[in-house]
Structure 1
């Protein structure tokens, strides 16, 4: 015999019911079939709403009741059952009885638990009545309806009745032995007490009904048909990459269902487990897909973690105090109190010092639980032996589940390091001795990020997803976005990294898309975005709260750099070409470094010096390996090198500066380059990365610009002043040519002293042949004394700077 249960979405309408009939048709040859059905999708919620309306004496219940009747009449009509007089009579009787119950409750302004169960049980009665009539017509057989209330006997704990198993199994055995029918349709969810009152088995109880029947008839298998293709490794509505679990043990399935896997009602497992009846979770709308098999024969031993689940709307109650230590009976008193008031405990943890006990319960029971606990421990609290019970809300439980977890070391470390890396604060931890479940309580706002991060670590061995929030879409920013767009497929196929841009901002507009911005049309999308705000932009990153978040700064803006601290404190990685933060006052620089260590979050700024050249990374590796920097000589401005390499008697100095601007080599304000400020910042960063406590004011700036140029306050004024003083620049060029020297803007650090300035470079110097926009850095260290460590290459330009930022993003992916 085979038991099939179909959920609410599977019987939501006539079209779906026909799909159910097709599945039954394929199954019913040469075997008996028991079909258990839920109420049509949404009907139970409508019935619950009706109970609320009548208890509030709200006449709107009549309209809602009419809508409910119309919904079922539509199903009957679309199934061509209008002419079935017996069905019409039965449906009319059900609605008449339901209407009478509602009218009575409306007059009283109250719905007693017994009446509540009678009302909400009508959803399954109506659907099963209609479906049984449709099956009788389709299969040309007698009506297969069987009322579950005649078989399943419970106590009168209305809302979540407890089944009397021996009596129930005897009724089931007696009925199915006597009947000659081969197809049966039963309503799920409902049962009856010994005195004949309708009871319900808890929301989701139709699964439980099917499992009880499967046990009672010793079914060959139990199939739960729903709208998903099995139990998933994580909630697919939250984790888009989640896949169905092919096979799972009864124990693993129980753990996952208790921890929020809504595809299966938790009590369903036990009746099937007792007789080792395999349970299949199948998809009504994709019946040929494998689904999930729950048994003890088809588990996957090599997979340590089978699933990640969560329970939302959790509250933590903590009882603590010195008076607990060494005192027996505290825990008994606590849990006895909760039990007496029918408060279910989901999560328990106790410190080994016996100083505190922490429990997790559903949030809607939290206030009364605290009240009862404080009352029962009033004496101990008054005498200072215990603190008043602490209550925390807005929490969720996440859990790793798997039979094989006990055979794999380091899973807890992997779990909690992943959460920590993504700034998910863990409020409490519990792990049973079976090691089948590791649970943690976290803030509800972090659930989406936590589930995705854990799923990525434990299940997505193929691809790591990086989520970018990009500020700055000018020359560098545009090139960076272009490179990301062009390389997305390559990164997936070759580096197992998926890169998405979720947020974009320039100085005017910003735009967000949680699913990733279409980079083919990003300019139009951004132009249609909302007004830009750095505070709102960073706030939105925290609100979206996704794993592997990276704040990418493609600007030279001081205001943007002030938000790095906020990002790092929220475990949001920072990648930047903006030199201002790392060349800011030493106190701020050290704070950024401290945040990196404290939160273990990447802060990468390779492009601060030398654009795409690996200067900072090379320097860090030297220091990390124990080397010590004594002297630095460098040409660190690609823009200045370009300007002086191209400055000649044919072109004026201002013409070359404008050309450098057009080609994207200078900062937006070229005075930052020509005044030496940009080089000072770069040199300061190298000095600090070398381990020296240095401020910008410690660097001597030997500027080649006339004072009038330095005193300008706008870019147009600065360019005009360069034109005015062209004779000054021509004189510099003439002197260099006369001596057969070349002009280079050099940064130096030696014996604790630093300077930047224009120098005349002789032919035998390494800097003489530095062409185009190239940079060069010479590091003199303990290991590189006579022959310095030399790094040379293109040090300016949007393309190379963007590629350097891109490289830092990829490094975050490998962090």
Structure 2
């Protein structure tokens, strides 16, 4: 004999009801079938809402009733049963009975638990009737049996306790005599020993099926729902979640208690002692394996963690005070108070100092709990032995579950460090001696991030997802997006990194998608995005609250750089080619470094010096390994190197600078490059990374520009002055040529001092043959006192700068 239960979604439409009937027909060919059904999806909520409206004298309860009536009549019509007068008459009679009950609630302005149970029982009675009659009309050997005639309970309305001896006898007796191939039972409903209508609690249809399965000691119990089993975590919040093929009873109960709604927690108990497997299957995909719950499986998972679950709408209450220490009875009085108010505790922890007891309850019970507890301990509170109860709301509990966790070291540490790295604050922790469950209380706003972070840590084969927000998708930014798109597959397969670009912005528009933007069509998406705003971009990144978030600044905007601190404080890593922040006041630079450490959010700016060259990374490695920089000599401006490599007595300085700007080697305002300010910023950053306190004004800048060049009021004016002062630039070239030298703009750092300026470089010097837009940096250190460590290569250009930013993004994954 097979026992199958179908949930509300499975019987929520004509299409799904037909799928249920098809499954039952297939099963009934091999053996007798008992099918337990829930109310049509959403009907129980509508019944409760109608009752609530009626109780408050709101006549909209009639609209809710009409919606319930229309839904059932629509299903009846679509199943071609509406022409059968007997079936239609029975349905109308039951609906009229429901309407009369609602009218009564409206008239007396009262909704007791007893009446509530009678009211919600209509959902299962109606659905089971329609399904049974449909099957009979199709010639199937089927009958409906009212579960209220089988399952006997006490009179604890809304969540009645089963009287098992009488219930089991009823079930055995009925099915010993029953001859039909398929029996339809309404789930959730029952009757008390006094004959009153009762219910088994929300989710009680699962419980009904388990009671029947245990009473008949069947070979397995199948729970059919709209998903393919119990998932590693909530698939609505974690896209990578997947079904768990096998679970123990204890693991399933833990997961269901902590929010895995596929299974009602009490379901497990009736079948547990008999070791009857529970198989969770998908009505919409009946061939999927689903999840099998039993104690008869071999553990073959690579992680001892079997699932991650959560409960929302949790309030955390803390009873504390010095007067509790060493005094027996506080816990007893506290829990008796909560029991008296019928408040369920879902989480508890107590420090060994006995100074405080912390426990979690449903948010809706928090005010009642505080009032009752403060009254119980009124005397101790007045004497200042303990504090009034502290209530924190807006919280959730997340839990790792797995039978084998106790035999693996470091699970708790891994869990908490993973949450900590993503700035998810833990308010309380509980772990039983069995180590089957490790629970933590966090803010409800962090649940999605926490579940994704933990799922990635324990289930995704060491894959790490990076969620990237890029502002400044101009020339460099466009190349960066394309590099990410083209390398996505390689990174995922070879480096176990999954990069999702979730936000893009230029100076006009911005777009977002927390599941990842389509990088093949991002330009068109940006055209129809929302108006760009620096603060708005930050707020969206903060509100998304995604794990491993990275903000990438591909601008030269000072206002953008002022937001770095805000990003870091929300544990959003910052990757920047914008040099303004790191060359601002030393106090600001140092503050950003400290925020990066405090909030575990990397702050990387490799492209500030040398574009894609590993200059800063190399310098950091030297310092970290204990080496000490004695001096730095460098050509750090690809744009200036390009200019002086292409300028001679056959060209005009103005034309060469124009060419450099056109090819993207200079800033939009070339004065930033030619004035030496950009190079000064770069050597300043290197000096600071060499552990030297220095500001921009401390750097000597020996400019080669004329006074007119430096005082020009605009870019156009600047170009005009270059034309006027051509003789000055030709003189600089002639001097270098006569000395058989090359002109190079050189940055130097030595003995705590730095300077930048144009120099004549003789033959044989490492700078002499520097071509095109190349940069070169020479580090003289205690380990490299005579022959410096040299880094050389392209130091300007959109593609290499983008590759430097890309490298920093990848570095974040290793932090």
Band of TM-score, shorter chain: over 0.9
> What is the Cα deviation at residue 474 of structure 1?
1.6
Superposition map of 1:439-518 within 5 A: 439-461=439-461, 463-518=463-518
Cα displacement (A) at 1:567: 0.9
CA shift for structure 1 position 89: 3.5
1:521 positional shift: 2.0
Secondary structure (helix, strand or coil) at the match of 1:424 reads coil
Residue in structure 1 matched with residue 540 of structure 2 by the alignment: 540
Q: Deviations 1:305-349 (Å, cap 9, x if unpaired)?
A: 010000000000011111111111111111110001000000001
Greater mean deviation of Cα atoms: 632-641 or 490-499 = 490-499
Tell me if the contact between 1:248 and 1:299 (Cα under 8 Å) persists in the aligned partners.
no
Residue pairs, 1:516-535, within 5 angstroms:
516-535=516-535
Which residue matches 1:190? 189
CA distance in 1, matches of 2:645, 2:654: 14
Q: 2 CA distance for matches of 1:468 and 1:54?
A: 51
Counterpart for residue 662 of structure 2 = 662
1:153 aligns with 2:148: no
CA distance in 2, matches of 1:149, 1:571: 55
The superposition leaves residues 217-238 of structure 1 with CA deviations (integer Å, 9 ceiling, x where unpaired) of 1111100000000000011111
Structure 2 residue aligned with 1:203: 202
| Residue aligning to 1:794 | 794
d(CA) in 1 for partners of 2:606 and 2:375? 61
C-alpha separation in 1, matches of 2:491 and 2:723: 48
Q: Is the CA contact (8 Å cut-off) linking 1:39 and 1:124 kept in structure 2?
A: yes
Q: Is the 8 A contact 1:248 1:300 kept in 2?
A: no
Aligned-pair CA distance for 1:139:
4.0
* In 2: Cα distance, 1:186 partner to 1:719 partner: 88
Contact 2:471–2:554 (8 Å) recurs in 1: yes
- Contact (CA 8 Å) 2:422, 2:600: kept in 1 or not? no
Q: 1:720 to 1:372 in 2, by over 3 A?
A: same
Q: TM-score, normalised by structure 1?
A: 0.98
SS of 2:10's equivalent in the other structure is helix
2:67 aligned with 1:67, yes or no? yes
Contact 1:239 1:451 in 2 (8 A): yes
Find the counterpart in structure 2 of residue 418 from structure 1: 418
TM-score where L is the length of structure 2: 0.98
Checking the alignment, whether the CA contact within 8 Å between 1:635 and 1:746 is kept in structure 2 is yes
Q: Summarize the Cα distance change of 1:579–1:517 in structure 2 as closer, same or farther, 3 Å threshold.
A: same
In 2: Cα distance, 1:731 partner to 1:10 partner: 87
Q: Which residue of 2 aligns with 1:213?
A: 212
Over residues 285-318 of structure 1, what are the superposed CA-to-partner deviations in whole Å (9 max), with x where a residue is unaligned?
Answer: 1000100000001252543001000000000001
Contact 1:574/1:602 (CA < 8 Å) preserved in 2? yes
Distance 1:74 1:652, change over 3 A: same
The worse-fitting range, judged by mean Cα deviation, of 680-689 and 28-37 is: 28-37
Cα deviation 1:513-557 (Å, max 9, x = unaligned): 122222222222212222211111111101011111100011111
Quote the RMSD (CA, aligned, Å).
1.2
User: In structure 1, what is the Cα distance between the partners aligned to 2:446 and 2:717?
Assistant: 51
1:747 matched residue in structure 2:
747
- 8 Å CA contact 2:423, 2:600 repeated in 1: no
Question: Post-superposition shift, 1:61?
Answer: 2.0
Return the alpha-carbon distance in structure 2 between the equivalents of residues 625 and 802 of structure 1: 28
Q: Deviations over 1:451-496 (max 9, x none)?
A: 0111111111163221110011121111111211222222222222
> In the alignment, is the contact (CA less than 8 A) between 1:249 and 1:299 conserved in 2?
no
Is the Cα–Cα contact under 8 Å of residues 431 and 439 in structure 2 kept in the other structure? yes
* Corresponding residue of 1:718: 718
Query: Matches of 1:26 and 1:74 in 2, distance apart?
Result: 26
1: CA distance between counterparts of 2:95 and 2:471? 61
**1:144 partner SS:** strand
| Contact in 2 for aligned 1:223/1:281 (Cα 8 Å) | yes
- Secondary structure at 2:143's aligned position in 1? coil
CA distance in 1, matches of 2:30, 2:227: 28
Q: Give the aligned partner of residue 106 of structure 1.
A: 106
- For residues 770 and 76 of structure 1, the distance between their equivalents in structure 2, rounded to whole angstroms, comes to 84
CA apart distance, 1:80: 2.2
Instruction: Quote the offset at 1:505 in angstroms.
Output: 1.1
2:236 aligned partner: 237
Q: What secondary structure is seen at the aligned counterpart in 2 of 1:346? A: strand
Q: Which runs of 5+ in 2 are unaligned?
A: none
Separation in structure 1 between the aligned mates of residue 776 and residue 490 of structure 2, nearest angstrom: 31
Which residue does the alignment assign to 2:6?
6
Q: Which runs of 5+ in 1 are unaligned?
A: none
Residue of structure 2 in register with 1:277 after alignment? 276
CA contact (8 A) 2:470 2:554 kept: yes
Specify the alignment match of 2:310 in structure 1.
310
Cα drift, residue 510 of structure 1: 1.4
Give the number of equivalent residue pairs: 814
The offset of 1:67, in angstroms, is: 2.5
The separation in 2 between residues aligned to 1:347 and 1:299, in whole angstroms, is 31
Alignment of 1:266 with 2:265, yes or no, is yes
